[in-house]
């Protein structure tokens, strides 16, 4: 035991004299490592008789604990000394510019929403909003959608469980009426109905927001963003609609050669109804809007649906269709962003990938203005 104490004293003296963390670590390995002399002493306990083990085990453990405490104390002392040295020598020049740090960015959808609001505000439109949880009447019936319309089907629409007047789940025999049935809105058209009911006519609004449909692939997601426009006034016709869309698209894509083609279509809430195609040209393998769709190397791309507001929709909103006429249109905000900023997968919009956001995101200072360009980046 005298030999142990002698080695212990030598180890403690060496630890106290160690000038670096590496030197302390070397002494730790020499004494307490797997092949260290203290570890070897501990291994001898298994060969001892119970009486010898009872006598020597506490002494060996005491040596081990004393050396371990000394090593920890010396490491802490060296760390404290290094910190004091750095605090005494390092200075911070507050007059220097701030270092480059990672910054947040504006999501392309939010940026495009601001661009659209800027453009339509210049055309005299105001922004209207409404609830994302809608009732069947505002979402379907008031828009002249028949009870058998495919959009009402469960595979297209997210319905909430039917509840009775007291909030209990209703049985099939006690099902609530269609008017009271609640769902996640499938478009922002209910905002148009609510606005006409509340404000009457004339009215000129855009209704941007989130909408929900049961669909998911590279160009569809269960939740996406849509913007709809509505104008109700006297003597409104398709010519007003075409001029509005041309003016809007030229400002949004910042090109004067945007060409539209209107094709007859069908929507329950407009009559007549038209699909709007936009001419494009292929540049570096990518479709770029602009130019005549009939020229060589050009084509037509379906972009949005629109039409003259159906008389029945005006009646549902409490307006006299013989006095008031209007037009409406709707387009996906996410699709506009994909076309303008060359994005090829809608699902990436909602993945939250920091690399994607850093590449496609906008600075908070990139405020869209008509004078500076709605797509200009600071």
Per-residue pLDDT of the chain (378 residues; tens, 9 = 90+): 667 778 888 888 998 998 898 899 898 888 888 888 888 888 887 888 888 888 888 888 888 888 899 999 999 999 999 999 888 888 877 787 876 766 778 888 999 999 999 999 999 999 999 999 999 999 999 998 877 777 666 557 888 887 644 444 554 434 455 567 899 999 999 999 999 999 998 999 999 999 998 876 655 678 889 999 999 999 999 999 999 999 999 999 888 888 889 999 999 999 999 999 888 887 777 777 777 767 777 888 888 999 999 999 999 999 999 999 999 999 989 888 888 888 877 788 888 888 888 888 888 777 777 766 666 554
- The pLDDT, as a whole number, for residue 241 is 95
- Of 220, 214, 260, nearest to 241 by C-alpha is 260
- The pLDDT, as a whole number, for residue 155 is 58
CA geometry: angle 378, 350, 110, nearest 5 deg: 35
**Tokens found for residue 70:** 């000394």
Burial classification of residue 47, based on how many CB atoms lie within 10 Å of its CB (0-12 exposed, 13-18 middle, 19 or more buried) = exposed
CA geometry: angle 259, 265, 269, nearest 5 deg: 110
**Tokens found for residue 83:** 């910190």
Count of CA atoms in the C-beta half-sphere (13 A) of 65: 6
Query: Please, are residues 236 and 205 in contact by the beta-carbon 8 Å criterion?
Result: no
Strand residue runs (E) in 237-363: 260-267, 270-283, 286-289, 298-309, 325-332
Residue 127's SS3 state is strand
**Tokens found for residue 321:** 């269709």
Q: Is 160 left (phi over 0), alpha (psi -120 to 50) or beta?
A: beta
Query: Please, are residues 174 and 164 in contact by the beta-carbon 8 Å criterion?
Result: yes
Residue 97 Cα to chain centre, angstroms: 31
Residue 298 has φ and ψ, to the nearest 5°, of -115, 175
Q: The domain 108-360 is classified under which CATH number: 3.40.50.880, 3.40.50.300, 3.30.930.10, 3.90.1170.50?
A: 3.30.930.10
- The pLDDT, as a whole number, for residue 99 is 67
Residue 6's SS3 state is helix
- The pLDDT, as a whole number, for residue 228 is 94
């Amino acid at each position: 035991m005298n030999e142990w104490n002698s080695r212990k004293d030598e180890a403690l003296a060496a630890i106290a004299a160690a000038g670096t963390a590496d030197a302390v670590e070397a002494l730790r390995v020499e004494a307490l490592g797997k092949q260290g002399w203290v570890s070897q002493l501990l291994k001898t306990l298994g060969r001892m008789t119970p009486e010898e083990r009872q006598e020597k085990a506490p002494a060996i453990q005491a040596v081990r604990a004393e050396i371990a405490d000394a090593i920890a104390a010396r490491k802490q002392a060296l760390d404290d000394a290094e910190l004091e040295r750095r605090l005494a020598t390092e200075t911070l020049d507050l007059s220097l510019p701030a270092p480059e740090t990672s910054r947040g960015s504006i999501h392309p959808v939010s940026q495009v929403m601001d661009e659209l609001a800027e453009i339509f505000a210049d055309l005299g439109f105001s922004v209207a909003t409404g609830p994302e949880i809608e009732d069947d009447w505002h979402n379907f019936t008031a828009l002249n959608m028949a009870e058998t319309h495919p959009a009402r089907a469960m595979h297209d629409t997210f319905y909430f469980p039917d509840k009775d007047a007291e909030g209990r789940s209703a049985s099939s025999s006690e099902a609530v009426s269609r008017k009271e049935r609640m769902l996640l809105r499938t478009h922002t058209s209910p905002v148009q109905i609510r606005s006409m009911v509340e404000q009457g006519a004339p009215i000129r609004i855009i209704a941007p927001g989130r909408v929900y449909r049961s669909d998911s692939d590279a160009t569809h997601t269960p939740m996406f963003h849509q913007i709809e426009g509505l104008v109700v006034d006297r003597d409104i016709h398709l010519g007003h609609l075409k001029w509005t869309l041309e003016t809007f698209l030229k400002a949004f894509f910042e090109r004067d050669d945007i060409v539209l083609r209107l094709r007859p279509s069908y929507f329950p809430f407009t009559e007549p109804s038209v699909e709007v195609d936009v001419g494009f040209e292929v540049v570096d393998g990518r479709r770029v809007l602009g130019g005549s769709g009939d020229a060589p190397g050009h084509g037509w791309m379906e972009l949005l649906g629109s039409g003259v507001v159906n008389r029945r929709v005006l009646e549902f909103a409490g307006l006299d269709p013989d006095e008031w006429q209007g037009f409406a249109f709707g387009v996906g905000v996410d699709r506009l962003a994909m076309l303008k900023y060359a994005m090829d997968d809608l699902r990436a919009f909602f993945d939250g990938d920091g690399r994607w956001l850093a590449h496609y995101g906008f600075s908070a200072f990139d405020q869209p203005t008509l004078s500076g360009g709605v797509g200009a980046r600071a």
